[in-house]
Structure 1
Amino acid sequence: MELRTLGYFVAVADAGSVSAAAAVVHVTQPAISRQLRQLETELGLELFTRGPGRLSLTAAGQQFLPHARDVLHRADEARAAARTYAAGRLERLTIAAPTTTLTDVIAPFLATLTDDDPMPTVFESDPREAYPALRHGADLAIVTEAPRSTLAARALASLPVWAYVRDDHPWHGRDAVALHELVDETVLALTPSFRPRQILDTALARLGVPLDRVVDCSNPQVAQALAAAGRGVAVVTDDARFGLWPVQIVGRDGPLRIDLFAAWEPEHHAAETLAALAARLGEFCVERYGPDVAPAGHVGQMGREY
């Protein structure tokens, strides 16, 4: 079944005669009549009743007409999409991001988009699922470790790992605490599958200092809520909530920080558009959190910045 033939069928149905349809589609009447006969033979249906000078849709033809219109409409959409892809444009943008990044970075960034930007879709993604997400429909993945070299990537920000305390805690008002000071606290930390916890554990191992009182939390907002309830010190990378005070944690090698990267497939049809969006996202992080979060490095091959 050819799209052209379906177009002739719809044209005749709308015009009411082969001669009128021929004038619309600029094809001879015999050619249209022949195509309609072939379509009826292929479908095993009589689509028209033929009278003097005019064709009328049969009951089967009336039921088939919406399907034919739908196929032609979808074909037009596919052609338009192909033109968009060929031009390197994006009409829709799918972003995979970890929970904290989605809430505190991606969502506020989306609020800055303009009418000229693609329509975004964002879904929560475990960092381990980011790369499969790129292979299964995501255009951009936000990850917390340097992406593999086969991907195009850009460093976005280097954000602090905070110790959040209440206003009645001795650390309230301080800018920073030494990592070993956590030993005397009940630490409300994310589970080991989360990158902030991994950074904390690695820093503790380098210092040779174990924590005796750690409460695992499956959600960073829960950790802050427990800190606000006086149950301990929340160690997360989220923005402050519940009136808590953020204190930077300084380990043996300096302040604990989590790096954010944007990654995408270098063969993506809109790779240049994705690179531009990643650059804007990095600029947004600096505007939101200050120049201290700007990643050191330069833009290199495939837009990689380290």
Structure 2
Amino acid sequence: MELRTLGYFVAVADAGSVSAAAEAVHVTQPAVSRQLRQLEHDLGVDLFVRSAGRLRLSAAGREFLPHARDVLRRADGARAAARSYAAGRLERLTIAAPTTTLTDVIAPFLATLDPGDPMPTVLESGPRAADDALRNGADLAIMTGPPRTSLASTPIAVLPVWAYATADHVPPGSSVRLADLLDETLLVLTPGFKPRQILDAAIDRAGLVAGDLVECSNPQVAQALAAAGRGVAVVTDDPRFDLRGVEIMGRDGPLRIELFAAWEPDHHAAATLAGLATRLSAFCVERYGADVAPA
């Protein structure tokens, strides 16, 4: 059963005669009649009642007609989608990113999308799984480390790792020395999270020893505990619970986390994804200031 034959069937049903349908589809009348016979043979049922040289839909034909229309409509939709893909357009967009990035960066960015942008779907990828998400169908992944070299990618932002505490707990100033911070009870994330890895690496480089660490599996929980006066939260989130944040100065400078956008280079909408990544980077600069722009 071919789409063309289904089109002839619908044309005859709409026009009321083979001759009128043949004129509408720009095919000879015998060719249309032959195709209708073939369709009925393939289906094993008469779609028309033939009487005195005229055709009218049989009961089976009336039942089959909406199915034929649906198949043709879906085929037209598939052709339109394929043309869109060939032109590099993207109707739907799946973004994968870690939890903090979704909450503080991706969600606010999505609020700025235009009506002509793809409809987004967002996946929480976990601290290490953004790269795997691309292999499983995500279009764009936001990562906290350099992507594998086989991917197309661009840096998005370089964001501070913050020390958050109540206003009366954090010393005045825009930063705190790592050595001084280690005198506090630190509310840190578990080792799978990038902010924790950055903190641990900075402590090792400085030759320091961590003191009292309380591990949290969620950055908002760490901030909540800091708001309760239980210590200083070390996270990259935006501030919550009226906490005050200062940057942490390690031996080699402030502790920072890098964000990258990555996508498969052979993606049919690679140019669209690159444009969205550029817009996301510009959004981060607008939201957090020029200091977060990647070098």
Letter aligned with residue 11 of structure 1:
A
Q: Would you say 1:220 and 2:226 are equivalent positions? A: no
SS in 2 for 1:184: coil
- Give the corresponding residue for 1:132: 132
Q: How many residues align?
A: 295
Letter aligned with residue 269 of structure 1:
H
- Give the corresponding residue for 2:188: 189
- Asked if 2 retains the 8 angstrom alpha-carbon contact of 1:182 and 1:211, the reply is no
Q: Distance in 2 between matches of 1:263 and 1:77?
A: 29
- Give the corresponding residue for 2:101: 101
Letter aligned with residue 174 of structure 2:
D
- Asked if 1 retains the 8 angstrom alpha-carbon contact of 2:178 and 2:248, the reply is yes
- Asked if 2 retains the 8 angstrom alpha-carbon contact of 1:172 and 1:245, the reply is no
Equivalent residues in 2 for 1:1-306 (5 A)? 1-169=1-169, 171-296=170-295
Q: Distance in 2 between matches of 1:27 and 1:70?
A: 23
Segment drifting more, 52-61 vs 92-101: 52-61
SS in 1 for 2:11: helix
Segment drifting more, 258-267 vs 203-212: 203-212
Structure 2 CA distance for partners of 1:208 and 1:63, relative to 1, 3 Å: farther
CA RMSD of aligned residues (A): 1.5
Q: Deviations over 1:108-150 (max 9, x none)?
A: 1111111232222211112432223222321111001011111
Letter aligned with residue 210 of structure 1:
V
Letter aligned with residue 258 of structure 1:
I
- Asked if 2 retains the 8 angstrom alpha-carbon contact of 1:90 and 1:273, the reply is yes
Q: Distance in 1 between matches of 2:65 and 2:209?
A: 73
Segment drifting more, 124-133 vs 140-149: 124-133
Q: Deviations over 1:186-239 (max 9, x none)?
A: 211111111111111111122232323222211111111111111111111000
- Asked if 1 retains the 8 angstrom alpha-carbon contact of 2:185 and 2:212, the reply is yes
Structure 2 CA distance for partners of 1:127 and 1:29, relative to 1, 3 Å: farther
Structure 2 CA distance for partners of 1:17 and 1:264, relative to 1, 3 Å: same
TM-score scaled by length of structure 2: 0.95
Q: Distance in 1 between matches of 2:62 and 2:129?
A: 48
Segment drifting more, 52-61 vs 15-24: 52-61
Identity of paired residues, percent?
74
Shift of 1:53: 4.5
TM-score scaled by length of structure 1: 0.92
Shift of 1:172: 4.7
Q: Distance in 1 between matches of 2:14 and 2:132?
A: 47
Q: Deviations over 1:83-130 (max 9, x none)?
A: 111112222221111111111111111111112322222111124322
Q: Deviations over 1:37-91 (max 9, x none)?
A: 1111112222222223443333332332222222211111111111111112222
Segment drifting more, 20-29 vs 260-269: 20-29
- Give the corresponding residue for 1:300: none
Letter aligned with residue 213 of structure 1:
D
- Asked if 1 retains the 8 angstrom alpha-carbon contact of 2:22 and 2:29, the reply is yes
- Asked if 1 retains the 8 angstrom alpha-carbon contact of 2:131 and 2:143, the reply is no
Letter aligned with residue 26 of structure 1:
H
Q: Which structure 1 residue ranges, 5 or more long, are not aligned?
A: 297-306
Segment drifting more, 47-56 vs 84-93: 47-56
SS in 1 for 2:112: coil
SS in 2 for 1:128: coil
SS in 2 for 1:138: coil
